Structures are given as C-alpha cells and as structure tokens.
Amino acid sequence: MPEGLTLSRRNFLKAGAAGAVTLAMPNFIAREAASLEALAAQTPVEYTTWMDLYRSQWTWDRTVRGTHLINCWYQAHCAFDVYVKDGLVFREEQAAEYEQIRPELPDLNPRGCQKGCTFSHRMYEPSRVTHPLKRVGERGSGEWERVSWDEALGDIASNFLDVVTEEGTDRVIWDLGSNINIGAANAAQARFAQLTHSICLDSNSNNGDGHRGAFETFGNIYIERGIEDYFYSDLILIWGSNPLYTSIPNAHFFTEARYNGTQIVAISPDYGASAIKSDLWVPVQPGTDAALALGVAREIVEGGHVDEAFVREQTDLPLLVRSDTRKLLTEADLDGGDEDHFIYLDASGEFIAAERKTLDLDGNEPQLDVRRTVTLDDGSEIEVRSVYSLLRDRLAPYTAEAVSEMCGTPVKLVRRLTNMIIKARALSNVSGSSLNKYFHGNLTERSMILIWVLLGQIAKPGSGYSAFPFLANDGWEDYVSGLRISERLSFGMELGTDLLWDLATGETAEMFFKKMGTHNFNDPGSTLPIWTSSALFWKVHGGQEDLSGEADKWIPGLQQPTKASLHQALENKDLPLQPPLGDDPRILFHYCSNPLRAVRGGDQILNVLWPKLRLSVVIDFRMNSTGQQADYVLPAAAWYETTDHKWVTPLVPYNHVTNQAVEPLGESQTDFWIITMLTKHIQEQAKERGLESVTSHIGKEIKLDQLYEDMTMDGQFTENDTDKAAGAILEQSSNLSHVSWEEQKEKGFARYNSLGLSPLSIGNAGELKADEPFIPLTNHTIKKHPYPTQTRRIQFYIDHTLYLAHDEHLPRYKEPPSMGGNYPLIMTGAHTRWSIHGVWRDSKIMQRLNRGQPYMVISVEDAESRGIADGDWMRAFNDVSEFVVRAKVAPGVQPGSTVMHHAWENYQFPGKGAPRSVSPSPVNPVELAGDHPHLKVGMLEGQPGMFDRDTRIEIERMTQEAVDQLRAG
C-alpha cells in the first residue's frame, strides 16, 4: 500500500481514538481519510506521492517557544513556536495562547507580523555574519579577514587597556541601539560598563522619540494603556501615528473596536494605511498639528466644556503667574515662605499654597479665571493672573477659521472634529513618535495633551492620552550593579530608608525611582552604569552640531547661535555629557546599533568622529552600514540561538522569552558570551601587564586584574550562563518573579503583575491587574499622588527663562522651520511596514514584497509638474546635501509633501547620500533647559532630540543612464 494511504489511515485511527472528544476535528478528518482511500482507488500511486511531498514539507523534529529580541516597541512582543528540522530553524508560527482577560474584550491572539514570521529565513540570509571579522584594508574598503575569537577579543582587550590607562575609562563608549533587551544580553553589556566605568549612550534621544511635550506637561513620558482598553473608547484619535504599519499585532483592536461602535478619526497629511480604517480622516499640513489642537482647545474653553473639577485638582491652571516677571507666584513672593510652593486663589478669596504632597484639595476650591493685584512680601503690588486666564488669552486667536489658515484643514472639518472630540464619552489617542521628529514637536504634544486634560479625559476606561510606552522588569538593575547579586536585596528594599524619607517630604515612589534614572546621567558614581544622551554625544563628539549650526539661519526667533547655547548648557552642567567636550572617544562598541544609518546628518559623524577612534567594534548578527566602516565585526547569536527575554510595553504587558532552538550559526556567540569573554581577555592581559587597576574618570578604582571574577560574580554567571542570568534577572524582579523562569521558558510569556520599580516604567503610575486593561495615571487621579513636575501638577506653564524667551511658556503653534533651505517640498517620514529599524531592510522576502529598492512617495500633482512618473529615479536635494531614490506616485500624498520611509541602509542608495544626509537636525534651544526642576535629563527623557520631519527638499527626475553611471562609481 502506498505510504500516503497508511498515513491517512493512521489519521483516521487517531481521529477515531479521540472519538468525539474535540468538536474541532474528528468528523472532517474521518471523512477526509475515507475519501482519500476512495480517490486512491481511482488513481493509485501518483496521487498520494505528490500530495505527500507537501505533507512532508510540514514536518519537524521539535518546536520551542521563541520571540524576537528587537525593539519593535508599540507592537512588542509575540510568542512563537519555532520549528526545527535537521538542526536548522525552518519556520515559525505564532503560539497564540494568550488568554482573554475579560469575556467582553477580544483576546490578543495570534500576535505576530510578517517580519517575525520570516525571521527563520532572515537569520540564514547572506548578510549574516558567522565569524569574527577583522578589517585588513582601509576602513570601508570591504577587506575583511576571518579571525579567531581569541585574536579578536585579545586585540580589543589590548586596545581597551591602552585607552583606559592612557586616556581614561570614559573614552570607551557603548553605543546602544534600540535593540537593548533589559535581559541577560544587555545585562552583560551594562555590567561591563558599570564595572569599568565606560559610557552607555541612551539612544532614545537620537531616535527622536523623546516625547518632550509629555515630559514638559506630566514630568514623565511613560504613559500608555493596555491595548484592550481601546475597546472602551468612544472616540479614538489616530494622530501622529500609523498603527497599521507600526502596531501590526495590535491593529485588530482598532478594527474590532470600530465594529463595536467606537469611532475612529485619523489626522495626518496623507491618506495612508491607518486613515483607510477611520470614520473621518482629517488632512492637516505637515507640522501644523499644534494649530489644530489649539483650535479644539479654544472651543473647549470658550464653549464651556472644561472639566473644571478635574483641572482645579490635577493641573497648574489655577496657579498664579506674576505679570511682572512672568514667573509662577510662590509662597516666597508672598510671605517669605518656600520657593517651590505655588499659589492659587481659593473660592474663599484666600491665597493658598498648593499642597505638594497630595493633589487632594481637602475641601478647597481653587479659582480658575483670576486676574487681580496682590501685595508681595516686600510691600509692592503686582498683577497676577492664573495660568487658566493666560491660557484663555493664548487660545483666543485659534478660531476655526484661523486654524484652517494655519493647518490647511477645511473649516467645516475643523468644526466637525472639534464637536466629535467634545461630545466623546471616552476619548483616546494612538501614540506614535512621528510628531516628536518635528522641530516644534514638543509644542504640538503639549497642545494635544491640553485637549485631553481640559476635558478631564484622563485615566478612565477608554479615555486618556498615551505618550511613550515602556514596561520593564526591575531585577536588571540588581544584576548590572557592580555588586554580587547575593549582596543586594531587591532594588526597592535596599533603598527603603531613603524612600520613606522622600515620601515624608512629599516625593512619591515614582519621583524617587525616576530620580534614580536621572542620577545615571547627572550624578554618576551610583551603582548603576553611567549614561549619556546619544543625540548630545553625536552632536558634540560627532560634529553633528556644526551641521545643525548651519541650520540656525532657517530657524526664526533664535536668541543666539544654537551651538553657543549648547556649549553654554554643557558648561553650566545643565546637560550632562560623558566624556566631556574635548575628551575624544576612542573605542566605540556598537551594540545592536547602527548610527551610520540612523543619525540624521550622519555623514558628518563618519567624517568627524571615526578618525578619532582607535576601534569601532560592531556586535551584531548581520552586516550593516556601520559594520561596513568598522574595525571588528563580532558575530552575535540570532534570536532563535539564545535564551533570553525582553522588555515590552503596557499595551501588551507580557514578558516574552526566547529559547535557544539551535546552536549559534558558524562561530557566532551570544552577546552575553562575547562581553563576558572580553572581560576574561582584559583580566588576563592586565595581569600580564602587571596592571591591578585604574582610576575611573569619576575617581573610582576599576579593578582590571579581577574583572572576569567581578563580571561573573566569582564564576556564578560565566560566559556560558546566558540562560541562568536571564532567569536570575527575573527572579530578582518584583513584577515578574511570580512565575518561575522554567515556566516562562516553557510557555514563552508571562503577564507582569505590577509596573514594578524601574525608572523606565514606574511613571505609568497605575495598577496593573490580571483581569483588566492597564490604565495609566490612576495613581494621580484616584490616589491623588502628585505628578513629578515642578508644581506637582499637570503643568502647562513653564516659566524657565528659555521658554519665556522663545515664547513657549504656554502651548502655542509655531510654523515648522524650512530646514535645508527654501525648497518647495516638506519631506516627512514614517516608519516602514517592511522592517524594524534596518534589520529586515535587505531581507529578500521583505524586499520582494515592496519595491526592492528605496523609494520616496510623492503626490500626483508634484510628480506631474516635474515630469516624474511612478518608478522614475529622482535626485532629492537641498542646501545640505542630496540623495538618489525612486519615485512612487500616490494620490494619497498631500501635494507639497513627500513621505520617505525610514531605515533603508546606506548601501541601498545609488551614490553617497541617503535621506538622513539632507536633514541637518538642528538643536532646539528650549531643550537645553536641563536646570529646570522637572526637565532634567533622565532615562530616555529630557534630552535634546533629533528632527528630520521639517526638512525641505526639491526633487528632479534622473535618467536611468545617470543612475547607472552613479552606481558604476
């Protein structure tokens, strides 16, 4: 009997044995098996043979649970079954075992996207690095030599010792890409950095994802809801985001909420992928969203729709501002009391210093609309006005007609949107990070938040403003501290005494742990790694500031050259920078990072910084634009070749684990192995040199001759213990230790049971429960904990000198500056559907599903007026630089704008330039206000950003011949 039939019969028997136990399969399979036999009677051998080829394509030796340790941010993460056959991963498929948290809410299944579903192929593509590579020609010559790990790590260790002894430990830099996992891999890196006092770059600023508007307003950017919460929304605004591209596994919650009766409004320049799922699309000119938001806010105020109880209690709107100095009125002004106590006028007519320890008004009723005189402590009389009163004046010009002029949205659409927002029972937004990448993105975000706050649409089911999603374990800090893990109690416990003290002074746990984050930048010497802002690093050490300095001429209203402002801020220590200006970096470890692709104006950093470097070391599983210019490329294990876990977000608050399915390809090794082995080489060579220790740049003794013992905690976690270290981190965590590591590995995911204490999560300030979607900020709205701002309230008035000087003390609209010169097109950008960062950009499967080459999407009108057809090559240029790209012509693109999706690698563009080349990314002077009480640099927040969305360009058609010539060299 043919083989296939035997199999069918077995199916039949198996189904029979199962009886009618499962409704899912038996009858169908029984029928199928029986009919196969019937068919076989007609066409015997051949039939079974060909179909069995397909059957055999779907066989495997085993499966393990896996995920992808990449920062796909809003959509992170997804549990997969990884299918292994003959020692190779050949496929993956979503595990899809998430349980519904409530019957009325859709479950999370299946979770995954086209990138994740092809990683099994990605990991075996030609760009994979399988052996340590040493540069033998000039940098960028592409001449590589395969070397042993001993040779590579030995040489790097030797250079390391030279640098730390000759110039200082802070000359060694960890350029951390956005793939940091806050698991074992990243813990090895961070522990190394902490033990040697080398510098870690916080890449969030460089990504332009700073959400500064949220930081200015809430004192905190970490605000995000559980994805299921959108089901409780009455109106969802997709504004500054494109979840159809960037939240693929989450997107069904929007389409399903819509079927459930929720309305969706999309606000964007282009009629794009997310707009097609909306009930109303509101076109807006790029960079003018603040005007639209302020128009809505004006109507809320003028129409009497302000939730007065909410803003009295939660915001700075009742606080008084001196008309003479434009500073907030303080207790010190009135009676010589505290300078950080701010004043409101109570309904009783009394001036009251707002409570800093709680938002509870204790029966008081602050007046909102105040304009009167007050006698100061020195006897003088001045006028004071409430923030609300100033705001009302500020909003007055933003009539629907004026707004329409500013943002190009038809008046009736402005009104229609306004009415929908005001009537919404529960209003939410879909957070993205596009608007941050406009020069005035902070003003836009402050203006948008104003809508939610004025309406009291905060921290209720389906209601609230989302900013920056992040959720991490809190055991990682314990692991990376210089101590042995056994020497530390849990992070929070150790700090218990301090914590109580701070609470007594009115600081919440949130403020305390966020302050721990700022210590990593401002007060190095704590037991945590030393961080510095990557944007600042590239600006100062990479020479990017010179490029952005040239951009000054395009920014109206500057008080002084931005470079001078920046250096003043460095000098005043308003912005911490490591190493300081003048101390050149010498070794750059690019750890899952790719700055030569990602940094705006990145040509500059190659020209300015690379010549100063003794070593540029790329640790990655694939060759990328930065790898091409490196001295060493060290092959890291891919995500199905290691056991580890990664941070997520409150949207999907489940820790996700990847298990090692196969051995690392070729000679590649886990990050944990690579970095731990580096300490071994350093220790050995230090001993050979008779070198016991060096003093770090902040005066701490760095023990070089026992670095490996310190790194491994005396052999507790050796280079081969990635799995064990990953587990130890979770066991130390207050929010993930409730499920054992073994169980998490087996299942692939576990739901967090609280926000924990990490400075990267605690700002969400709410309770993470098992049976409801997370709602942020309830600690403030329900428990009345004060916000971590200067005034301890949601704050719209920033009285810092720089904000006053630039007229940004209150939200307002400012036109996007013409960055790059007087050119007719604004080159907006967006995340691509086809890659997470550059990781899938040259994936063959992904490339074949778009256009195989970089393209810029342009409008029909702009194409026609320039004689450009779809698919043509174009030169895009401005005063800064140029690049060559193909045209994609789409009627959804707003005339006058173009859409350039991100993350194409440099080597995918003919010629030298790439889109980042034309973006000077200037410094915004208000971002230098690091001396403001709540605008200090902290973890992922409060740092100068990167801007490319305001970039102006012109485009012109290029002939095929010209492009071929360019490529020929």
**680 belongs to the binding site for another protein (CB under 8 A):** no
CB of 886 to another protein, least distance (A): 8
The closest alpha carbon to 815, from 447, 550, 556, 552, belongs to 556
DSSP SS3 for 777: coil
Nearer to another protein, 687 or 851 (CB): 851
CB of 638 to another protein, least distance (A): 16
> What is the footprint of another protein within residues 852-871 (CB under 8 A)?
852-853, 857, 859-861, 870-871
Number of alpha helices (DSSP H) and beta strands (DSSP E) in the chain: 36, 31
CB of 898 to another protein, least distance (A): 13
DSSP SS3 for 7: helix
> What is the footprint of another protein within residues 423-452 (CB under 8 A)?
none
CB of 189 to another protein, least distance (A): 24
> What is the footprint of another protein within residues 884-943 (CB under 8 A)?
886, 888-895, 905, 907-911
Show Cβ contacts of residue 60 under 8 Å, excluding neighbours closer than 6 positions.
Answer: 83, 84, 85, 90, 91
Span from 35-43, 361-369, 491-499, 924-932 in contact with another protein (CB under 8 A): 35-43
| DSSP annotation of 644 | E
**667 belongs to the binding site for another protein (CB under 8 A):** no
Size of the site for another protein (CB under 8 A): 145
**327 belongs to the binding site for another protein (CB under 8 A):** no
Among 111, 697, 780, 837, binds another protein (CB under 8 A): 111
User: Tokens 């994802």, residue?
Assistant: 209
> What is the footprint of another protein within residues 396-415 (CB under 8 A)?
409-415
CA distances from 170 to 41, 520, 592 (A): 78, 14, 20
**46 belongs to the binding site for another protein (CB under 8 A):** yes
> What is the footprint of another protein within residues 828-847 (CB under 8 A)?
833, 842, 844-845, 847
Residue 588 one-letter amino acid: L
* Token output for 319: 């606080």
Nearer to another protein, 243 or 756 (CB): 243
Nearer to another protein, 66 or 930 (CB): 66
Tell me the C-alpha distance between 851 and 889, whole Å: 13
Nearer to another protein, 42 or 497 (CB): 42
| DSSP annotation of 954 | E
Show Cβ contacts of residue 622 under 8 Å, excluding neighbours closer than 6 positions.
Answer: 125, 127, 128, 129, 839
CB of 966 to another protein, least distance (A): 8
CB of 59 to another protein, least distance (A): 4
Span from 7-15, 531-539, 687-695, 728-736 in contact with another protein (CB under 8 A): 7-15
CB of 858 to another protein, least distance (A): 11
Find out whether the peptide bond into 77 is cis, omega within 30 degrees of 0. yes
Among 1, 13, 27, 371, binds another protein (CB under 8 A): 27
User: Tokens 């920056």, residue?
Assistant: 468
Name the phi and psi angles at 422, rounded to 5: -65, -35
Please, what is the Cα angle at 810 between 806 and 816, to 5 degrees? 55
β-pair partners for 956: 875
> What is the footprint of another protein within residues 944-963 (CB under 8 A)?
960, 963
> What is the footprint of another protein within residues 217-246 (CB under 8 A)?
244
The closest alpha carbon to 722, from 674, 672, 678, belongs to 672
**607 belongs to the binding site for another protein (CB under 8 A):** no
β-pair partners for 857: 888, 899
| DSSP annotation of 763 | G
Nearer to another protein, 611 or 891 (CB): 891
Q: How many other CB atoms sit within 10 Å of the CB of residue 954?
A: 18
> What is the footprint of another protein within residues 254-293 (CB under 8 A)?
255-256, 258-263, 266, 271-273, 275-281, 283
Give alpha helix (H) positions in 670-762.
671-689, 707-711, 722-731, 741-747
Do the beta carbons of residue 68 and residue 116 sit within 8 Å?
A: yes
Nearer to another protein, 231 or 796 (CB): 231
Nearer to another protein, 159 or 409 (CB): 409
> What is the footprint of another protein within residues 48-67 (CB under 8 A)?
49-51, 53-63
CA distances from 363 to 324, 342, 550, 793, 923 (A): 31, 18, 55, 17, 45
**143 belongs to the binding site for another protein (CB under 8 A):** yes
Span from 19-27, 561-569, 658-666, 743-751 in contact with another protein (CB under 8 A): 19-27
CB of 7 to another protein, least distance (A): 6
